[in-house]
């Protein structure tokens, strides 16, 4: 047996779930994703990662600008799906759309709800120093990630993890979780638990204005800030190079021994003093350049005390 499903998703994070649902025999009758956007040197229209996979699989793709019109509802109903699976779709589903599939609409969310409802749960979990993250399947309602939870998987966050690392670990974990949830739904055995109203925190969209590194903070806070914003938009500081202040993103770092005035480079290995302790920069990216290892950077741009990053 299998379910007749609508799949709604946009970025790379959603692709493993789409592929796993297909691999487990569910009938994906339509894929909804965001419109193609211009990108690259020629600014050609680029379909979303989910659209590319759906087209490869021969699944019809729909890219409505809004779901709030009568026409959008008629089209959604025409698929005669039993349920909808939503993974980082990027568009709010109004109540009339949520009511269409008889078994409901189910969202895969990259946090341990009710902590980190909203747009950037992966980044915020790292930036705030959380010890763990995870994925949850919830039955959607009109609130922002407020629906009843069906299933969850947890994952430890270590100090070596960047946002990309955590993203890449949660995506397949979530795909497996959603397949299990749809299997239970198909058998009529999917149980739902209301979310607690205790511990609700919203994961606001990342603002580029918060990306500047504050070296006065403790070393672990600086590390988590850098890793939570890596690779995009990238936590940055200004590095004095040939008499100019050059913006450099810190993509990966590690805790290191040493101390000094915050922002001071305290050795020749790009160890930087923080408000308490120090970090050593491992991967970085100069403005307009490709990411590189710190030792590569140092070969062309030696950094020794008394250099200060700001």
Binding residue positions for (6S)-5,6,7,8-tetrahydrofolate: 111-114
- All residues at 6 or more sequence positions from 244 whose CB lies less than 8 Å from its CB, including other chains: none
Token readout for 282 is 């491992």
Angstrom CA distances, 177 to 173, 180, 184, stand at 6, 5, 11
What span, in angstroms and rounded, lies between the C-alpha atoms of 41 and 23?
Answer: 35
Binding site listing: 111-114
- DSSP alpha helix (H) spans, 161-267: 163-186, 219-228
Give the neighbor-by-neighbor strand order of the sheet with 105-109. 61-62, 27-32, 4-9, 83-87, 105-109, 132-139, 149-156
What span, in angstroms and rounded, lies between the C-alpha atoms of 125 and 192?
Answer: 24
């Amino acid at each position: 047996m299998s379910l007749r499903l609508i799949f709604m998703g946009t970025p790379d994070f959603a692709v493993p779930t789409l592929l796993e649902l297909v691999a487990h025999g569910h009938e994906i009758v339509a894929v909804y994703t965001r419109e193609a956007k211009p990108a690259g040197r020629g600014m050609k229209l680029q379909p979303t990662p989910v659209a590319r996979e759906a087209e490869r699989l021969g699944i019809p793709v729909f890219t409505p600008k809004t779901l709030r019109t009568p026409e959008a509802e008629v089209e959604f109903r025409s698929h005669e799906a039993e349920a909808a699976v939503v993974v980082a779709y990027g568009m709010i589903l109004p109540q009339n759309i949520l009511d269409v599939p008889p078994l409901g609409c189910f969202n895969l969310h990259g946090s341990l709800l009710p902590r980190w409802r909203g747009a950037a749960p992966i980044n915020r979990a790292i930036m705030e120093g959380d010890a763990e993250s995870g994925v949850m399947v919830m039955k959607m309602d009109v609130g922002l990630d407020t629906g009843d939870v069906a299933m969850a998987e947890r994952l430890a966050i270590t100090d070596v993890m960047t946002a990309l690392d955590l993203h890449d670990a949660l995506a397949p974990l979530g795909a497996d979780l959603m397949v299990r949830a749809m299997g239970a739904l198909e058998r009529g055995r999917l149980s739902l638990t209301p979310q607690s109203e205790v511990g609700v925190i919203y994961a606001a969209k990342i603002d580029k204005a918060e990306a500047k590194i504050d070296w006065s903070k403790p070393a672990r806070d600086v590390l988590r800030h850098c890793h939570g914003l890596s690779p995009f938009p990238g936590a940055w500081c200004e590095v004095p190079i040939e008499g100019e202040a050059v913006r450099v993103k810190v993509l990966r770092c590690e805790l290191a021994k040493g101390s000094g005035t915050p922002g001071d480079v305290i050795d020749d290995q790009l160890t930087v003093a923080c408000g308490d302790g120090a970090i050593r920069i491992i991967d970085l990216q100069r403005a307009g350049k490709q990411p590189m290892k710190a030792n590569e950077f140092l070969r062309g741009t030696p950094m020794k005390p008394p250099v200060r990053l700001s």
